[in-house]
Structure 1
Amino acid sequence: MPDGGAVTRHTLRQQIADALRDEILAGRLLPGREFTVRTIAEQYGVSATPVREALVDLSAQGLLDSDQHRGFRVHRFSLADFRGMVEARSLLEDGVFRKLEQTLSERPGPGAGRLSAPTALLTAVRRRAQEAARAARAGDVAILIGYDLRFWRELSALGDNRYVSEFLDRMRVKAWVFAVPFLREEAQAYRWLWSGHEELVDAVAAGDTAGIRTLIEQYNTHLLTWADELAHRADRQTAGGLAPCPGDSGGPGGSCDGGARGAPGRGARGGAAG
């Protein structure tokens, strides 16, 4: 049996890491924000050890930078980072679905060429899709982020490869971290948040692998188009002498050290994170 104290410390470590990640995703801890182990330990009323371990975990996930002299700092993702995340996801997702299509084409009998998923799993994913799409249409970013991440995690479980699912989840978290500072300054976020979750679930339920790939390709194309628009807006704002990034004119923020300075308007099916 493991030591009870070790179990408690591990649980506390995970709880602190989860809480801080939620703070970053919510935009309450903006890119560039610095803090120490002592600061977090005092904030949560716990000892330094689980806090230090939680911060090291978040650093390993790429969400924090560690400085032995100044403590920890929320990582500042650039526009180039964001593009790289989207492209990496696109390449991996394309490979996953190509493999799935090959497997289905080799399936004998009535099930040939059809994707089958457990009813309970699809029901859960559909619920998440409905909530995520509703939040996106309403521009409710705080609600959307949680449902969007859960939606993609559960959908990724269909691929039956834990390593792929974990990698894709980390890319989505980082993409949201990049996008949140822009979302906080966008008055009409609903105009460009992606809301195609339900359509994607319908394609999965129908076993339409070609439709699934088309929707995901469209989604990733929207993200890269948004990135281009961020760069164009950055150029316009720089030429006009405006504040260079979200948060630059008042506080520790701004996550656009790759050239992005604002959030563009998009259509209802447009996408800019997740």
Structure 2
Amino acid sequence: MPGTSGNGAVTRSTLRQQIADALRDEVLAGRLQPGQEFTVKEIADQYGVSATPVREALVDLSAQGLLEALQHRGFRVREYSFADFRGLVEARSLVIDGMFHALDRGRGGPPHVQDPDDPYTAAALAGVRRRGEEAQRAACAGDLTVLIGYDLRFWRELSSLFGNPYLVDFLHRLRVQSWVCAVQHLRRVTDLRGLLWAGHTELIDALSRRDTDAARCIIAGHNTHALALIERLATG
């Protein structure tokens, strides 16, 4: 029956996304190491599901750059070099700078983004700031897992204010890839307190004032810090 078929498709699609999210979290947590190989059957057995949604989830993660498909052998967690990380930082910076240019031109997406005093904008920025506060606390505490979660939510919610879903998805993908590259080095550090960037609230305060010059300086400092830290860990 059509209704049954539709429900089945929705269920499979939801399961596919759940598996993709779970595997992405495994990579970000360092439980799936760069270069580690596995098959569709191994993942299906691990989660107790059929092979089809697992295969679809792994293909999705391959398209996002987190995995590599191995012909007739399954999949492998992608290994990123420092050059890859530098390229990802540059790419995400260009996207973020485009967001700031939109603010400079006074057309940052939906009308409410143009007026920081608008109640909707104020409420949305307050929500993003709360994510930033949590990310900042996690960074200061050296809690990498919590930091990654809140950092990704922070940037997704901030970019969504510009009303362009393609921008939101692209920036999110770049930031996930950046974290995948960084965690292979950061997870080896015993104590990360004082080493992780914690400028989320400072950035939101600058954007709330529509001070894009200050925001650009904050992002430049963020990039310089990240590149120096990962280069030091990668070569050390």
- Cα distance in 2 for partners of 1:84, 1:53 equals 28
Residue 7, structure 1, aligned to residue 10, structure 2: yes
Q: Indicate the residue corresponding to 2:137 in structure 1.
A: 134
Q: Quote the RMSD (CA, aligned, Å).
A: 1.9
Task: Provide, for residues 11-66 of structure 1, a one-character-per-residue CA deviation record: whole Å limited to 9, x for no partner.
Answer: 11111111000100111001101000000010001111111111111111111100
- The answer to whether the Cα contact below 8 Å between 2:152 and 2:172 also exists between their aligned partners in 1 is yes
The structure with the largest helix share of the pair is: 2
Match of 2:201 in 1: 198
Matched-pair contact (CA < 8 Å) for 2:197–2:226 = no
Per-residue Cα deviation, 1:193-232 (whole angstroms, up to 9, x for no partner): 00011111111222222222221122122223334434xx
| Conserved? CA contact 1:137–1:195, under 8 Å | yes
1:180 partner letter: V
2:156 paired residue number: 153
1:63-78 equivalences in 2 (<5 Å): 63-78=66-81
Verify the 8 A CA contact 1:86 1:220 in the aligned structure 2: yes
Matched, 1:166 2:130: no
- Asked if the contact 1:115/1:208 (under 8 Å) is kept, the reply is no
Inter-partner Cα distance in structure 1 for 2:74 and 2:208:
48
Higher relative contact order (CA 8 A, sep 6+): 1
- AA aligned opposite 1:200: L
**Secondary structure at 2:68's aligned position in 1?**
strand
How many equivalent residue pairs? 226
3-state SS of paired residue (1:83): helix
- For the residue of structure 1 that corresponds to 2:161, the secondary structure is helix
Q: Which moved more, 1:134-143 or 1:179-188?
A: 179-188
SS at match of 1:65: strand
Q: Identify the match of residue 211 of structure 1 among 211, 214, 227.
A: 214
Q: 8 Å contact 1:115–1:209 — kept in the other structure?
A: no
Give the aligned partner of residue 267 of structure 1.
Answer: none
- Aligned mates of 2:74, 2:115 — CA distance in 1: 52
Shift of 1:101: 0.2
Q: Superposed, which structure 2 residues align to 1:3-152 within 5 Å?
A: 3-103=6-106, 115=116, 118-152=121-155
Sequence identity percentage: 60
For residues 162 and 221 of structure 2, what CA distance do their matches in structure 1 show? 20
Unaligned runs of 5+ in 1: 105-110, 231-259, 263-274
CA distance in 2, matches of 1:61, 1:32: 16
Q: Is the 8 A contact 1:65 1:72 kept in 2?
A: yes
Return the letter of the residue paired with 2:88.
Answer: M
Determine the C-alpha separation between the residues in 1 that align with 2:115 and 2:13.
42
Q: Is the 8 A contact 1:129 1:147 kept in 2?
A: yes
Q: Which residue of 2 aligns with 1:188?
A: 191
Distance change >3 Å, CA 203–CA 12, structure 1 → 2: same
